[in-house]
Amino acid sequence: MTREQTTFSRRAVLRHGTVAAGVLGFTVGTASAATTVSGGGDALQTAIDDASDGETLTVGDSATYDPIVVDVEVTIETSASPTIEGDGGTDAAVSVNADGVKLDGFTVTNPGGLLGVKVGRGYDDTTLSNNTIEDIGPTGRLGVTGVVVGQGDHSGIEIVNNTIQNLDQETTDDSGFPTVNGVLFDADNSDPGTVSDTTVNNNTIRDIESDIAPLGIVVQHETDGVDINNNEIRDLEAADDTDSDPSDSVDFDFTFAQGINIASPSTNETTIAHNVIEDITSAETILPEAVKIDGDGGGLTFRSNQLLVAVGLNNRNGTDSGNRDPSSDPQVDAKNNYWGSRKGPEEADFNLDADDDERSDVVGNVDFEPFLRNPPGGKGRGPNN
């Protein structure tokens, strides 16, 4: 079969397989070239610049590579333990500017930099898997982030089996509001766009520190078919250090820390299940929260999560209510979760009314019954009927 006689869907080819480099013809349902990369420095970027859609680039050594911009539909994988290191500025260590990009098995760092991996505005079918994204920040600028999915519509984003750790942000005189995010779906407030058919599964997000606000997973886009499942989010610390660091002249007089923040103006078929959220601390005023809903909670379903934080779920500030009576908030379906106690959660009117003990609180309009009396999978697990 000649090249002229063959037509195929590029996306179907990428989903169903590849063939080895050097094969000039086609086999049914498969077509791809493969290139091995080594040497560190700019060698990976050079290979990307020379690649064609559908190509696989395999890094074969454990060298350190310069930041990369991926503007072609390629799979980038490794048979070793390489590092992609950012330049410490505001750009990401890995910038994805094409559909269908896959990055698997790398360590991504950006000491003193703002971003680890960024998926650019409107790109689809990005897969980030089996990576360690670590040592990002501090920068003195707001928004240090491990993985950011940019503005616009996105479909088919997969962030799976990654470790995102050791992210840090500190206040300075010109830092603005210094948050740190493990994973951020960063929407435009006036045109949020929609994220669909997307998974954030089986990741570990840990050791995130900010003077003001460390956040594990933040979703700002509208959602339609999003799964956030089987993640471990722990060791997030909001630690205002103005007292211990005389050079830090900025003091916001409050801190907050959240495992998951949903700020979506609209949610549909969005499942948050089997996550463990624990060891989250906030130094001042606002108690730490496993989940905070600052947007629409009506399309969210929470199941079999371990919400082991002072406030397990806060739905008081949903977009439908603002600061009105929380009974007017869209009700959040949070049945069959574990709240740190056989008695289930306590209820509080405000974050500040919650108790900082081993029994998590719920705030706002949350349907939490029946609840799990033991952690999911543990002996005696079951709802309190």
Q: Average pLDDT per run of 10 along the chain, which is 385 residues long? A: 31 33 36 88 98 97 98 98 96 98 98 97 98 93 92 98 95 69 94 97 96 94 98 91 49 82 96 97 87 94 97 81 56 96 95 91 95 79 51
**DSSP E strand boundaries for 47-125:** 56-59, 64-65, 68-70, 75-78, 83-85, 92-96, 102-104, 107-111, 115-119
* Structural contact between residues 140 and 168, judged by C-beta atoms closer than 8 angstroms: no
Separation CA 189–CA 193 (nearest Å): 9
Q: What's residue 356's pLDDT? A: 87
Separation CA 298–CA 318 (nearest Å): 10
Q: Model pTM greater than 0.85?
A: yes
Separation CA 215–CA 294 (nearest Å): 13
Maximum separation of any 2 CA atoms in the chain, in Å: 73
Token pair recorded at residue 180: 């740190």
Q: Domain spans of the chain?
A: 34-367
Q: What's residue 317's pLDDT? A: 76
* Structural contact between residues 179 and 143, judged by C-beta atoms closer than 8 angstroms: yes
If phi > 0 it is left, if psi is from -120 to 50 it is alpha, else beta; for residue 315 that is alpha
Token pair recorded at residue 289: 């929260």
Burial 191-201 (b: 16+ CB within 10 A, else e): ebbbbbbbbbb
Separation CA 57–CA 333 (nearest Å): 44
Token pair 């898997």 is at which residue? Answer: 129
Q: What's residue 178's pLDDT? A: 75
Helix (H) or strand (E) holding 50: helix 43-50
